Structure 1
Amino acid sequence: MQQRLALQRAKRVLSGQAVVTLADDQCCAVVLEKNARWYLPELLRHHRAIGVQHFLVIDNGSTDGTPELLESEPDVTVIQACVPVSDYEVLMRRLLPPLVVQGGWFLVVDSDEMFEPPPGCNGQIRPLLRYMLAEGQTAMLVHMLDMFSDQSAEITCRWSYVEALDRMSLYSLNALERIDYHDPDFILAYFVKDNPTAAPQNFWRGGMRYEVFGETPLLTKHGIFRNADGVAPPGHVHAVSNVCVSDVSACYRHYKFSGDYITRERNHVAAGTWQHGEDVLRLARYDQPGAFAIRTASQLSFRGTEVLLDEGFIQTSDRFREFVERQA
């Protein structure tokens, strides 16, 4: 209760519409960020292109001009809440979006992520939302695909974000751990145990970051969910409850290793921004002798979501394919 009151006192709308009403097949992208000015023009461009209707940016106290960059964007609402993100992240994601957005869907996306609609949608998100609505599905799993370049960090740190999006075209599916959606021993079991799934689903963990750094990040979250009565707001960064999970999954292209990521992570460790310890593991690898570059046993070039479907990283269904073909 004290945290809720503290967040209520800390939050303020900096710019944009205070209330946004969405149709049943529209979505609002929710972006929790701090000092993300470098990423945001491309994030907005990409997600507008795939059909996102509105953006709610929860600013955690940026000092790089992010609020000023966004104040003239008509489809962006900025709420600022200067509270410790390690303590308040879940609460911000849980309480703030419903204050602004009525109806529709939420697409959860971090500043370094690009959501990719699944095959069959012609690169648009609304056919997917219409399918889920027709099937009574109220959430969908989205898996993070870590994108990287095999050039040294000394080179990649000088690229603009536009250049990074073009040149960081590699990914690896090595060292992925598949976890059944209803695994009773999984860390999210409490939040998802009562969620029915329209088809068997799974979480992914590890991947390239396990292979290179020895960390075991959770790569899957309930990235899309209905903004409606009965759907429980996020109780965990990666989970929602009281939802029916789709038989379709999708991916984010994740550009965590763009820009001067080594300096960025040193700053996070020094400030104690996160408590999960993953950035400490990465720093230990960066500090080994020689120029650091990401290298994996097998490196694949991104060729679209159809390939990811063939590789088993994401999934669709016959019902979905038939539906979107009729919609085309």
Structure 2
Amino acid sequence: MPLRRLDTRTLSVGRGSCPALMVVRNEALRLPFVLDYHRDLGVERFFVVDNGSTDGSLEFLLSQPDCYVFRTEESFRDANFGMDWINGLAERLPAGTWCLFIDADELLVYPHSESLKLPRFCAFLNEAGSEGLSTLMLDMYNAGPIRDAKYETGTSFLTTCPHFDRTYRERPSLVPGHEPEIVGGPRQRLFYPELARTGRLGMAMRRALRSLRLNPIGSHLGLDRTRLGAGLPPELRKVPLLKVRPGLRWIGNHLTTPFIPAPVTGILLHFKFFSDFHARAVQEAARGQHWDGAAEYARYAAIIAARPETGFFHAESETFTSSTQLVALGLMRDSLRLGRALDGMHSLRQVLFAQPRGRQAL
């Protein structure tokens, strides 16, 4: 069933702009800030699919002058976990447009993003011949138990959850041509501790078992869909920024068709762990609309129910300060070309806006 568009605004995307694409369900708490953050970054238009919200998210979106709002009650799972909707929105955009795919709990950071707006960053990616930006999903958390991370809507996510793990690492994939996998982080540390010593072969076997379990063949063989291969941490790599062209699309939340990668990488600051996390995990486990039959959410809910004081902060936690910090920690990659381009922009501004000698600005 096609998406129903609910707003009556004239649909327009400016040349050189970078619209954002979103699928949301009951995100009234996070929507005001996630929109404001990306507006400040340079996003001028948001294409948002509301998937049956009941908490006021839809009404809020319809009140925003820069949001094109679509509605569906269809199954998130049956729409390839929302990716059919996201690709459908991308297809409405002119070829050559860069678009940003984010969830309501994600904030995009890239090298120099504090001073380099997204349209200019995308222009740099064009100049580099790139078609997509790969990012690490960096889980953010508070200093105490997750249940104490009480977030006030409209405020910066970082006020509530400013901390993150620095102990992520890449290791080569066993699949030829695939990007290295990213391992580590607080979710693996607390929710999947048994994987701390699991190597590449062990992880590959677990993924193969999960694929078999989800395949109809697995059902015919009588494989237990709730146990076999379920112990897999969430994927931590995501491609939120893609250039629209025929044949380039998202296959899943963490996978796309082949593209020319950017010479830099980015970060998605991921704010899943506010005080509402346990209630949301219980709800999503019951709905079963997420990948792997929502086994991931069922695990979260069970562990927090057993240990209500669960929190992520530990001796090696870092406190977020800037994109420069993430580059210095090796979590994000900058490039000399981008630095030079930014220096050139600053020099041009100094020439254009310099005051003549002997005169004072009013």
- TM value normalised by structure 2: 0.77
**SS of corresponding position for 1:74:** coil
Any idea what the Cα deviations from partners look like across 1:88-137, whole Å, max 9, x if unmatched? 12212222332366652111111001112322761521221111111211
Instruction: Please state how far the C-alpha of 1:315 moved relative to its aligned partner.
Output: 0.3
- Counting only pairs closer than 5 Å after superposition, residues 191-202 of structure 1 correspond to structure 2 as 202=180
Distance 1:155 1:121 in 2: 29
In the alignment, which residue of structure 1 is the partner of 2:14?
A: 22
Larger radius of gyration: 2
Instruction: Please state how far the C-alpha of 1:46 moved relative to its aligned partner.
Output: 0.6
- Which runs of 5 or more residues in structure 1 are unaligned? 1-6, 194-200
Q: CA RMSD in A?
A: 2.3
2:268 to 242, 245, 252: 252
Distance 2:69 2:242 in 1: 21
Structure 2 residue 286 is matched with structure 1 residue 270: yes
8 Å CA contact 1:21, 1:103 repeated in 2? no
Distance 1:66 1:120 in 2: 28
Partner AA of 2:240 in structure 1: G
8 Å CA contact 2:17, 2:43 repeated in 1? yes
Instruction: Please state how far the C-alpha of 1:27 moved relative to its aligned partner.
Output: 0.4
Partner AA of 2:145 in structure 1: S
Partner AA of 2:241 in structure 1: I
In the alignment, which residue of structure 2 is the partner of 1:322?
A: 340
Any idea what the Cα deviations from partners look like across 1:16-65, whole Å, max 9, x if unmatched? 54633331x31011111111111111011111111112111111111112
**SS of corresponding position for 2:251:** strand
Q: What is the percentage of aligned positions where both structures have the same residue?
A: 22
Distance 1:72 1:300 in 2: 37
Instruction: Please state how far the C-alpha of 1:253 moved relative to its aligned partner.
Output: 1.3
Distance 1:220 1:233 in 2: 16
Q: How many residues align?
A: 303
In the alignment, which residue of structure 2 is the partner of 1:4?
A: none
In the alignment, which residue of structure 2 is the partner of 1:93?
A: 86
Moved segments of 4+, more than 6 Å: none
- TM value normalised by structure 1: 0.84
Structure 2 residue 234 is matched with structure 1 residue 217: yes
8 Å CA contact 2:147, 2:308 repeated in 1? no
1:126 to 119, 123, 136: 119
Any idea what the Cα deviations from partners look like across 1:137-167, whole Å, max 9, x if unmatched? 1111122111101212342246546265313
**SS of corresponding position for 2:267:** strand
- Counting only pairs closer than 5 Å after superposition, residues 1-328 of structure 1 correspond to structure 2 as 7-8=1-2, 11-15=3-7, 17=9, 19-23=11-15, 25-88=16-79, 89-99=82-92, 103-119=96-112, 122-157=115-150, 159-160=152-153, 162=155, 164-174=157-167, 176-180=168-172, 183=173, 185=175, 202-214=180-192, 216-228=233-245, 230-276=246-292, 277-289=295-307, 291-328=309-346
Compared with structure 1, are the counterparts of its residues 257 and 290 closer, same or farther at alpha carbon in structure 2 (3 Å cutoff)? closer
**SS of corresponding position for 1:224:** strand
